Amino acid sequence: MSKFVAPRTPKGFRDFLPETMLRRSYVLDSIKEVFHLYGFEPIDTPILELHETLFGKYGEDAEQLIFTAQHGRSRRDPLAMRYDLTVPLARVVGQYESQLNLPFKRYHIAPVFRGERPQRGRYREFWQCDADTVGVASMSADAEIVIMMVQILRRLGFPQFVIKINHRQLLVAIGEFSGVPNEQLPDLYRSVDKFDKIGADGVKRELIERGIDSDAVSRMMDLIQSKEPGSNSLELIAKTVGDDVKGLDDLRQLAQLLAEASIPPENFDFDFTMVRGLGYYTGPIFETVISEPNLGSISGGGRYDNLIGMFRRQSLPTTGTSFGIERIIDLMNELALYPPHLGGTLVQALVTVFSDETRRESTRIAHQLRQAGINTEVYLGRRKLGRQLAHADKKGIPIVAIAGPDEIEAGVVKLRRLRDGEEKMVDLKKLAQSAGELLADR
RNA sequence: GUGGAUGUAGCUCAAUGGCAGAGCACCUGAUUGUGGUUCAGGCGGUUGAGGGUUCGAGCCCCUUCAUCCACCCCA
């Protein structure tokens, strides 16, 4: 006698039913397609890593959010659940260097785990979708990442998006130029990161509250708000801060490469108020925002030349991007970007069953349809025809094949399209062809 | 981790401290070979859980759990 247990998932963990999974797969498959077009290849790694692999990489605050995992009472090899896909990449590169060809271009689509308090678009288990290039120090790799991001967002059907681009070293230079001490730079990033949310005045107030000199704050705020079309804002910074500032050259090259690739100016923007939280970035940083409607960021990334050094004597330059697919999926729902053929089911035809005696014939019909590549369900229950049609209708199956004693006797099948009630009595030999026509005809 | 809101049928929500309801969904029939529309009927509840106040609690109080929102942080 088993005890009743109220069915539920752990906090921040979700189930996905078929209708949702079809949409998730559509998004992931679309992204994969573009990754492949650019020559990125998949890897996967274990959900569990050794404790020592993850800890010491993200900073103290983030480490509080890492789930740990243990088997029974074993105290050997403490384990932890992966927190992102970037540190596992760094480990893989360190571990399999001899088997990898540099430049190594990999993508990785997999769930990661963070013990945060869940909110809309924020979960404790969520999927990340990363593409990174290892072993290329030049901007050609960064440009390729940005160009691929544009391609993916187009492929998914987003009518409007902007990839904001900034540079870690440029931010440092601007901070130094303005007179912000190095040890206060993390505070500075944290506040500036909220620029979109709390505005220039909000950032200023917060920085002064954090004890940063108010003159320095003013100088810096003026600089980061430099705004000119295209790469002109780069030159504006160059005039004030100096032409030889670290990072400026990178961004100039990037601008040049993006222009050569005919990336439309409305799809990218040098924005010195954009900061990415993660500490390991060392070069250009990217973030995609959808501003109409204003729904926040859906991808982020950048260059992190030192991280792999955690798993290898000498580091390797690395740059990449990560798509926040949970948000992308929410947004695509809101913006209705899914193609119409993506209904609630992938089943294209239901073969009804008149009685147990005719089930064999229905199964044969289904086999024929399947041979022709049509996703087919044979009704497995024993309900009357009306119920079988209702099942197809409710599930969104477009056509039904009816084979009762009369049809079987005559060697025919009646095909019915539920959308408009169109019916065809077809010969068994032409079954698949006719079904295909009914499915295609709009 | 901090602050706020909400928990009533499978779902969305009603119900002055006084008999727990509606819509949708589901099931049956009208219609024994035809879904969606319609009509008639039916199933469905320890009001999140535990305690307290009261003649009487879904409603008031306390505790606890869950969910959502905002912050922190982030994808």
How confident is the model over A111-152, as pLDDT tens digits?
A: 999 988 888 778 899 999 999 999 999 999 999 999 999 999
pLDDT at A1 over 50: no
Nearest residue to B69 via alpha carbon and C1': A119
pLDDT of residue A442: 63
DSSP letters of A112-146? EE--PPPBTTB-SEEEEEEEEEES--SHHHHHHHH
- Cα of first residue to Cα of last residue in chain A, in angstroms, is 54
Read off the pLDDT of residues A266-299 as tens digits, 9 standing for 90 and up. 999 998 888 887 778 899 999 998 876 666 788 9
A435 confidence band (pLDDT: 50, 70, 90) = very high
Helix (H) / strand (E) element for A319: namely strand A318-323
Burial class (CB in 10 A: 0-12, 13-18, 19+), A297: middle
Cβ–Cβ contacts within 10 Å for residue A218, how many? 14
Nearest residue to B67 via alpha carbon and C1': A11
- The integer distance in angstroms from the CA atom of A159 to the C1' atom of B67 is 34
- The integer distance in angstroms from the CA atom of A426 to the C1' atom of B73 is 62
Q: Which nucleotide comes closest to A413 if you measure CA to C1'?
A: B33
- The integer distance in angstroms from the CA atom of A333 to the C1' atom of B59 is 38
pLDDT at A2 over 50: no
A106 confidence band (pLDDT: 50, 70, 90) = very high
Cβ–Cβ contacts within 10 Å for residue A248, how many? 20
Q: Which nucleotide comes closest to A14 if you measure CA to C1'?
A: B67
Rounded Cα gap, residues A57 and A286, in angstroms: 21
Choose among A35, A15, A37: nearest CA to A24.
A15
User: Which nucleotides of chain B are near protein (any atom < 7 Å from a CB)?
Assistant: 1-2, 26, 28, 31-36, 66-75
Q: Which nucleotide comes closest to A419 if you measure CA to C1'?
A: B36
Nearest residue to B2 via alpha carbon and C1': A117
CB A91 within 8 A of CB A53: yes
Q: Which nucleotide comes closest to A276 if you measure CA to C1'?
A: B74
> Among A237-246, A255-264, A349-358, A404-413, where is mean pLDDT lowest?
A237-246
Tell me the whole-structure pTM to 2 decimals: 0.89
Rounded Cα gap, residues A197 and A221, in angstroms: 15
Choose among A383, A372, A371, A374: nearest CA to A350.
A374
- The integer distance in angstroms from the CA atom of A117 to the C1' atom of B69 is 12
pLDDT at A3 over 60: no
Read off the pLDDT of residues A370-397 as tens digits, 9 standing for 90 and up. 999 999 999 988 888 999 999 999 999 9
CB A351 within 8 A of CB A377: yes
Nearest residue to B32 via alpha carbon and C1': A384
Q: Which residue bears the tokens 């949310």? A: A197
Q: Which residue has the higher pLDDT, A3 or A331?
A: A331
- The integer distance in angstroms from the CA atom of A344 to the C1' atom of B32 is 32
How many residues make up chain A in this entry?
442
- The integer distance in angstroms from the CA atom of A387 to the C1' atom of B40 is 19
Rg (CA), chain A: 28
- The integer distance in angstroms from the CA atom of A3 to the C1' atom of B49 is 18
